[in-house]
Amino acid sequence: MRTVERPILLHCSSANRTGALWLAYSVLDRGLSWDQALAEAKTVGLRSPDYERIVEEYVTRQQRASSSSSSSALDPRTEEALRAALDDERRAQAFYQAVMDRFGNRRPFSRIIGAERRHEARLIPLLEKYRVPVPANEWSARDVDVPGTFSEACRRAVEFEQENVAMYDDFLSFIAEEDIRTAMSLLRRASQERHLPAFQRWADR
């Protein structure tokens, strides 16, 4: 799309795939935030959550591939935000693992812990790109206090996810770098729309 002659006609039988292509193009080439690009893509015709996930993974790979390019230094506040975000994702992993160690490999913890690991993997290349030292992981499931019942553990997880969303809301209010904003918007969205509802359903049982 960068090199072909304009105008370009994008189409498919349902506009679903067209919307997916437009989403990737808007983030990577037009510089839109994920939320802005996703809103446009849905207007174009994107409806499939699977296509949305595939595009998210593609965008992540492309951003990682460009992470070796030279980058200007971040301001101290943004550096600290990246470190804090990584620490928060690791904290959640440790707690969710501790819950499974106590109560068994049960949903939703058994599924969401994998997402938390992917969140960590999304943040580390950003620290490396901007030459921010990646801090050691100081969280261990062995050192985490776990509530006495599974329902209480789910309620604690609800609090974790709510705090995670609030944290990203704060960071997105001042971070200027678009690749960091895109990553944090995606992580916030996962916590708000997938993790939090899952834990709330189990906490209410």
Please, which residues have CB within 8 angstroms of residue 13's CB and are 6 or more apart in sequence?
none
Model confidence pLDDT, tens digit, residues 145-164: 888 888 899 898 999 899 99
Please tell me the predicted confidence (pLDDT) of residue 121.
Answer: 87
Model confidence pLDDT, tens digit, residues 47-75: 888 888 888 888 888 776 665 554 557 88
Q: Which residue has the tokens 């939703």?
A: 108
Kindly state whether residue 91 falls inside one of the protein's structural domains: yes
What is the CATH classification number for the domain harbouring 150? 1.20.1260.10
- Return contacts of 66-75, CB within 8 angstroms, 24+ apart: 66/129, 67/125, 67/126, 67/128, 67/129, 68/129, 69/129, 71/129, 71/130, 71/131, 73/130, 73/131, 74/130, 74/132, 74/177
Kindly state whether residue 22 falls inside one of the protein's structural domains: yes
> Model-level pTM?
0.67
From CA 93, how far away is CA 115, in angstroms rounded?
9
Whether 184 and 103 share a structural domain: yes
Whether 96 and 62 share a structural domain: no
Kindly state whether residue 8 falls inside one of the protein's structural domains: no
Phi, psi of 91 (to 5 degrees): -60, -45
- pLDDT under 50: residue ranges of the chain: 3-4, 70
Kindly state whether residue 11 falls inside one of the protein's structural domains: no
Whether 42 and 88 share a structural domain: no
What 8-state DSSP symbol labels residue 205? -
Whether 55 and 81 share a structural domain: no
Whether 77 and 58 share a structural domain: no
Kindly state whether residue 10 falls inside one of the protein's structural domains: no
Please tell me the predicted confidence (pLDDT) of residue 97.
Answer: 92
Please tell me the predicted confidence (pLDDT) of residue 28.
Answer: 79
Kindly state whether residue 5 falls inside one of the protein's structural domains: no
From CA 94, how far away is CA 144, in angstroms rounded?
7
Kindly state whether residue 183 falls inside one of the protein's structural domains: yes
Please tell me the predicted confidence (pLDDT) of residue 70.
Answer: 46
Whether 81 and 142 share a structural domain: yes
Please tell me the predicted confidence (pLDDT) of residue 178.
Answer: 87
From CA 154, how far away is CA 167, in angstroms rounded?
20
The domain total for the chain is 2
Provide the residue range defining the domain that includes 129. 73-203
Whether 40 and 85 share a structural domain: no
Whether 109 and 130 share a structural domain: yes
Residue 81 identity (one-letter amino acid)? A
Please tell me the predicted confidence (pLDDT) of residue 5.
Answer: 55
Please tell me the predicted confidence (pLDDT) of residue 3.
Answer: 47
Kindly state whether residue 2 falls inside one of the protein's structural domains: no
Please, which residues have CB within 8 angstroms of residue 192's CB and are 6 or more apart in sequence?
161, 165
Whether 134 and 117 share a structural domain: yes
